[in-house]
């Protein structure tokens, strides 16, 4: 299985901050990398697919980059509704695997 | 508006069978071009892929669970199901159903999720 490692595991930030979360794959996954937002009691939401494509309806302050084994999710100006947990997921091969999550607080 | 809803939370004893259904609304499950999947998240751990059923009916299961899991679709009811046999404490988790989509450029991702159903396995 492909191991996905995120850092940091938690991040303290303020409204308006620029935030960057990283994700590393244990082997190359090209750009088969998705980012999700999780809030307690709510359905997870896909933000970015294919490493850099913004899912329809997702605010443009979210962006993704990277290829191979190293990826980043950036929130350009943190908004109150962005405090959540973020996780990366590789779609290069099954079993699909996720990072352990980054809690933004 | 596409919505997925898992059936209710469960408390099971070791060796029992877990059965969950996912009701799909806002789109026909037989509409093609999508897959239907199950994931789970044990307390304090990362999300784990359980398996997938494609519109062709072909299934794909996580090798770690393959001997115990079955995913099926009921097109007449617009729902799909998960059966996991011989459960143990390690199967305690929040179980999610999802829809898998594919972009024009060929990237797969999960664009609609249920809110999750808590399954607890305890003697």
Contact A64, A87 (CB under 8 A): no
Residue B52 phi/psi, 5° resolution? -145, 145
- So what's the pLDDT on residue A88? 98
Q: Which of B9, B93, B102, B107 to mutate to test the interface with A (most CBs of A within 10 A)?
A: B107
> Each residue of B35-88: pLDDT tens digit?
999 999 999 999 999 999 998 889 999 999 999 999 999 999 999 999 999 999
- So what's the pLDDT on residue B122? 96
Residue A98 pLDDT level (bands cut at 50, 70, 90):
very high
Query: Could you tell me which of A56, A94, A92 has the C-alpha nearest to residue A71?
Result: A92
Whether chain B has a CB inside 8 Å of the CB on A98: the answer is yes
Q: What mean pLDDT do residues A90-95 have?
A: 96
Q: Considering CB atoms only, which of A36, A42, A91 is closest to B107?
A: A91
Residue B49 and residue A95: Cβ atoms within 8 Å?
Answer: yes
- Judging contacts by C-beta atoms under 8 Å, the chain B residues touching residue A57 are none
Residue B111 and residue A46: Cβ atoms within 8 Å?
Answer: yes
Whether chain B has a CB inside 8 Å of the CB on A101: the answer is yes
Q: What mean pLDDT do residues B22-34 have?
A: 89
CB pairs under 8 A between A and B: 64
In chain A, at which residue ranges do the beta strands (DSSP E only) sit? 4-7, 10-11, 19-25, 33-38, 45-49, 53-54, 62-67, 70-75, 85-90, 97-98, 102-104
Whether chain B has a CB inside 8 Å of the CB on A83: the answer is no
């Amino acid at each position: 299985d492909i191991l996905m490692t995120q850092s940091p595991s938690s991040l303290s930030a303020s409204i308006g901050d620029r935030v960057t979360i990283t994700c590393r794959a244990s082997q190359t996954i090209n750009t088969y990398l998705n980012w999700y937002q999780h809030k307690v009691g709510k359905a997870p939401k896909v933000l970015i697919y294919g490493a850099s494509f913004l899912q329809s309806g997702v605010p443009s302050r979210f962006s993704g980059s990277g290829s191979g084994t190293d990826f980043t999710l950036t929130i350009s100006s943190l908004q109150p509704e962005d405090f959540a947990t973020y996780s990366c997921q590789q779609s290069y091969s099954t079993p699909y695997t996720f990072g352990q999550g980054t809690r933004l607080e | 508006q596409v919505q997925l809803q898992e059936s209710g939370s469960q408390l099971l004893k070791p060796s029992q069978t877990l059965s969950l259904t996912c009701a799909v609304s806002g789109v026909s499950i037989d509409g093609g071009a999508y897959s239907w999947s199950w994931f789970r998240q044990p307390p304090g751990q990362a999300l784990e892929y359980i398996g997938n059923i494609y519109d062709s009916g072909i299934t794909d299961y996580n090798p770690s669970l393959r001997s115990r899991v079955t995913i099926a679709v009921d097109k007449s009811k617009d729902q799909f199901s998960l059966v996991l046999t011989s459960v143990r404490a390690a199967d305690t988790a929040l179980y999610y159903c999802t829809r898998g989509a594919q972009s024009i450029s060929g990237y797969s991702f999960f664009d609609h999720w249920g809110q999750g159903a808590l399954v607890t396995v305890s003697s």
